[in-house]
Structure 1
Amino acid sequence: MNLLSLFSDKKFFKSAVTLALPIALQNLILSSLNLVDNIIIGGLGDTAVASVGLANQYFFLLNLVLFGLVSGASIFTSQYWGKRDTANIKRVLGLCLITSIVVSGIFTIGALVVPNYIIGIFSGDKNVVHIGGNYLRIICFSYIVTGISFTYSVILRSIGQVKAPMIVSIIALAINTFLNFSLVYGIGSFHGIGVYGSAIATLIARFIEFSMMIFTVYKLRFPIAGKLNELFDLSAAFIKRFFKIATPVILNESIWALGVTVYAVIYAHMGTDVIAATNIAGTIDRLSMVIFFGFGNAAAIMIGNKIGEKKEKEAYLYAKRFIIVNPIIGAFVGIIIYTGAPLILNVYNVSPNVHEYSKQILHVIGIFLWVKVFNYTNVVGILRSGGDTKFCLFLDMGGMWLVGVPLVALSGLYWHLPIGQVYIFVFMEEVSKLIVGFPRIPSKKWINNLVAK
């Protein structure tokens, strides 16, 4: 098959864009919540930015664990949807809700009981620990409802219902932005309460998002709107089969999250300015990835549907299209980040040091973004959609723990290189994953029908 015929399927691209854009927009909105927080908090100084950033790092860990869980669930959901088996989709949702609540509850207890210890892992700055700990103590009450909202959102996406989660997220962003600014700086006769106002604003916004999500699912009677007896009609065999596939994904995201935490600890030991810079650049990095989160998830849905329909040849064709198109777009976005870094950073009211460090990091991100996009598309969009979760686990863990973490630790803590150079070694993890992961696609070993009877 030549390149012209590979990309001549208008129906494919229409379906991909229809799925990807709402997912991308929702991810943009979720990432914008952090960006809005960062910009608003930025007016309070570098210590405030670092404190909130480290508190959000703890939530980032929870988010990655939840992402691993719902990613495992979405593998089954997309394949079940390919054969229109709504009864089992509801069971997947129910099992995912139980696990999300348990995991979120554990993180909530940790943030309530030892918040200063958690922040202290990342930073030795007493002011950062004090402010970050108090912030964490407030924001943690949103974790369980966030986990539930996230579960419903991803399961809806997996059956092609992408607009409702997007609309809910838009409303939540608008509420969060208004409350954030009002509670941080004050409005009218109210003078504002600084950093802690941001925590309260985000807490309120997430409860509203949760309420809207549940109301929308049942009001519009989506296929996943099951009764309790349908959601929790779980046999031991079903649970075992689910976790056989989902556990490697959960472990993957959890251990990867631990690696990201190690990176954050290394940055923290390089100084408060470095913490602030990596938090700013990290938020921009996540914003730059939103379109690829959209197309990566669209790939997972479309390929999973085809495997569920027992159309393996079409699933492989879809994989080839996504793995070529996404990195090409990634290269163009990378150029924009590299050249636009100074302009992007002008919105932040930070010290010259933090500005310079952030610019260096963004230059590195711009150069390597296409590699990161390739790996996200490969792992999340292609390999996992076919149930190849064990290979994904070994690929991600090998790249991070055998390449990324050792090199970043050496360059940051022992060689004492500038953060811009240290960040190059972060992306060596991505380079190694590209080299090892690329041959897996043409091997077709990743194509597994998990829902065939």
Structure 2
Amino acid sequence: MGIIQLFNDKKFFKSMLKLAIPIALQNLILSSLNLVDTIIIGGLGETAIASVGLANQYFFLLNLLLFGITSGSSIFTAQYWGNKDIKNIRRVLGLCLLTGCSAALLFTLGGLFFPKQILSIFSKDADVIMLGSQYLKIIVFSYVITSITFAYSFTLRSTGQVKIPMIVSVTALAINTILNYLLVYGYFGFPKMGTNGSATATLIARIIEMCLILFAVYRKNNVIAAKFSELMDLSKAFILNFFKVTIPVILNESIWALGVTMYAIVYARMGTEVIASTNISSTVERITWVIFMGLGNACAVMIGHKIGEGNEKDAFIYAKRFIILGPVFAMFAGILVFFTSPWILSAYKVSPVVYNYAAKNLIVFSIFLWVKVFNFTSIVGILRSGGDTTFCLILDTGGVWLIGVPLVFLGGLVWHLPVYYVYALVYMEEVAKLIIGLPRILSKKWINNLASKTVV
């Protein structure tokens, strides 16, 4: 199939844009609001930025664990939707809720009773730990609530319903940003709470977000508006079949998250200026990443639906299209980041050293973005949608722990390189994953029809 013939499919692009644009728009608005939040906190100084950043690093671990659970569930949901199997979609949602809420509860208890011990892993700065602990003791009450929102949002996405999660989360995060502004500085008669105000604003926004999504699902009797009995209609065989596929995804995200946490530990031990610079550059990176989150999620849903329908030929064609489109778009995005990052960074009131570090971090990001996008599309969008979760586990965690973590520890703590060179070493794992991942996609060994093997 020639390159022109490969992309000569209006139906494909219509479906892709229908899924990708709302997801990308949602993530763009969320990341933009997070950028505003970071700027609001930035007005309190570098210690405040670092403390909130480290406290959120703990949530980052939970976030990726929840992403693993919901992503694993989405593999089944997308294929069941292709097979029009509503009963099993609701069962998967029930398992997703049980698993996600259990994980969130454990993280809540840890952050509530051991905040200083947790944050001391990341930093030795007493002021950062004190501020971060206060923030963490408030924000942990949003964790279980967030897990419920995640379960319903990802299930909606996997059935092609992307507008509801977009509208709900954007509304909630807009409220979060407004409350952040009011509670951090005490404007318009609100109490001046500093970093604790930011945590309180986020907690309120998460509660609103959960209520809105449940209202949207059950008020309109949505296809996933399952009764409690339908959510809990779980046989031992069904549960074992579910976890056989999802446990590698959960392990993948968890072990990968621990690896990324190792990066954060190295940055933290390199100094508060380094932490501040990586927090700032990461916020800008998340804004850039929204396009590719949209593409990757559209890829997973579309390929999952095709496999569920039993149309493996089109599933493979879709995979080839996405691994070309993603990196090409990423090259253009990298150029855009390269030229606009100085303007974006000028909004931050930080020292010249922090500014310089953040600017050079973003140059590294812009150079390697296309490689990162290829791997995200491959692992999250293609291989997982076909149920090839064990290979993804080996590839993703092997890249972090065998290449990324050793190089970052050497670069940051042994060779004492500047943070932007350490940033570049992180991307060596992405290069390795591309070299190993591409042959797997072309082999077609990742295509597994899970919907046709349903266990009641």
TM (normalized to structure 1)? 0.99
1:365-398 CA deviation, whole Å, 9 max, x = no partner? 0000000000000000000000000000000011
Match for residue 44 of structure 1? Answer: 44
Q: Distance in 1 between matches of 2:158 and 2:191?
A: 44
Which amino acid in the other structure matches residue 290 of structure 2?
V
For residue 191 of structure 1, report the CA deviation from its aligned partner: 5.1
Q: Which residue of 2 aligns with 1:123?
A: 123
Q: Find the counterpart in structure 1 of residue 159 from structure 2.
A: 159
Deviates more, 1:28-37 or 1:429-438: 28-37
Matches of 1:16 and 1:189 in 2, distance apart? 47
Letter in 1 for 2:324: I
Distance in 2 (alpha carbons) for counterparts of 1:428 and 1:182: 42
SS of 2:193's equivalent?
coil
Number of matched pairs: 453
Q: In the alignment, is residue 181 of structure 1 matched against residue 142 of structure 2? A: no
Q: How far 1:64 moved relative to its partner? A: 0.2
CA distance in 2, matches of 1:179, 1:223: 34
State yes or no: 1:238 paired with 2:238: yes
Three-state SS of the structure 2 residue aligned to 1:8 is: coil
After superposition, residues 77-88 of structure 1 pair within 5 angstroms as 77-88=77-88
Give a deviation string over 1:228-278, Cα, whole Å, max 9, x none: 000110000000000000000000000000001100000000000000111
**Do residues 436 (structure 1) and 436 (structure 2) align?**
yes
Q: Which runs of 4+ in 1 moved over 4 A?
A: none
Alignment partner of 2:217: what SS? helix
> 1:193: how far off?
1.4
User: What secondary structure, in the 3-state scheme, does the structure 1 residue paired with 2:124 have?
Assistant: coil
Identity among equivalent pairs (%) = 63
| Post-superposition offset of 1:431 | 0.5
Amino acid paired to 1:13: F
Asked if 1:76 is matched to 2:76, the reply is yes
Could you tell me how far apart the structure 2 residues matched to 1:192 and 1:6 are? 58
Output the CA distance in 1 between the equivalents of 2:71 and 2:423: 28
Cα distance between partner residues in 2 of 1:189 and 1:197: 13
Give the 5 Å matches for 1:34-433.
Answer: 34-190=34-190, 192-433=192-433
Q: Partner amino acid for 1:349?
A: K
Deviation of 1:451 after TM superposition, in Å, equals: 1.2
Amino acid at match of 1:14: K
- Please give the secondary structure, in 2, of the residue aligned with 1:233: coil
What is the Cα deviation at residue 96 of structure 1?
A: 0.4
Give the distance between the partners of 1:153 and 1:192, measured in 2 at CA: 33
1:1-24 per-residue CA deviation (whole Å, 9 max, x = no partner) reads 111111110110010000001111
Amino acid of the structure 2 residue aligned with 1:447? I
How far is 1:33 from its partner?
Answer: 4.0
Aligned with 1:449: secondary structure?
coil
Residues of 2 paired with 1:196 and 1:353: CA distance? Answer: 27
Aligned residues of 1:29 and 1:169 also touching (Cα < 8 A): no
- Paired with 1:60 and 1:162, the residues of 2 have a C-alpha distance of 23
AA of the residue aligned to 1:136: L
| Aligned residue in 1 for 2:20 | 20
Q: CA deviation at 1:221?
A: 1.5
Given that residues 180 and 198 in structure 2 are in contact (C-alpha distance below 8 angstroms), is that contact kept between their aligned partners in structure 1? yes
Task: Kindly provide the amino acid, as one letter, of the partner of residue 85 in structure 1.
Answer: D
Residue 415 of structure 1: how far off its partner (Å) = 0.2
- Helix, strand or coil for the counterpart of 1:192? coil
Q: CA deviation at 1:412?
A: 0.4
Q: Following the alignment from structure 2 to structure 1, what is the Cα–Cα distance between the partners of residues 268 and 280?
A: 14
How far apart in 1 are the matches of 2:251 and 2:29?
Answer: 27
CA distance in 2, matches of 1:190, 1:440: 56
Contact 1:24 1:293 in 2 (8 A): yes
User: Do the aligned partners of 1:180 and 1:197 also contact (CA within 8 Å) in 2?
Assistant: yes
Counterpart AA for 1:348: Y
**Does the 8 A contact of 2:51 with 2:131 survive in 1?**
yes
Alpha carbons 1:386, 1:446 under 8 Å: kept: yes
What is the CA-CA distance between 1:328 and the residue it aligns to? 0.3
Q: Could you tell me which amino acid in structure 2 is paired with residue 343 of structure 1?
A: W
**Structure 2 vs 1, CA of residues 92 and 351 (structure 1 numbering), >3 Å: closer, same or farther?**
same
| Cα contact 2:172–2:208 (8 A) shared by 1 | yes
Q: Distance in 1 between matches of 2:85 and 2:29?
A: 31
Are the equivalent residues in 1 in contact too, given 2:79–2:304 (CA < 8 A)? Answer: yes
CA deviation vs aligned residue, 1:171-223 (integer Å, no higher than 9, x gap): 11211111000001122234521111111011100000010011111012211
Q: Distance in 2 between matches of 1:70 and 1:443?
A: 27
- Rounded to whole Å, the distance in 1 between the matches of 2:253 and 2:34 is 20
Structure 2: how far apart are the matches of 1:323 and 1:188? 50
Q: d(CA) in 2 for partners of 1:97 and 1:433? A: 31
How far apart in 2 are the matches of 1:82 and 1:435?
31
Query: Per-residue deviation at 1:304?
Result: 0.5
SS state of the match for residue 225, structure 1? Answer: coil
CA offset digits 1:25-58 (Å, max 9, x no partner):
2222333343222110001100000000001111
Could you tell me whether the CA contact under 8 Å between 1:61 and 1:258 is conserved in 2?
yes
1:328-375 alpha-carbon deviations (Å, 9 max, x no partner): 000110111112221110111111111111001000000000000000
Deviation at 1:169, TM superposition (A): 1.0
Aligned to 2:121, the other structure's residue is in SS state helix
Q: How far apart in 1 are the matches of 2:369 and 2:272?
A: 26
The amino acid across from 2:128 in the alignment is V
Output the CA distance in 2 between the equivalents of 1:444 and 1:125: 50
Q: Distance in 2 between matches of 1:200 and 1:143?
A: 13
Cα deviation 1:126-148 (Å, max 9, x = unaligned): 00000001100000000000010
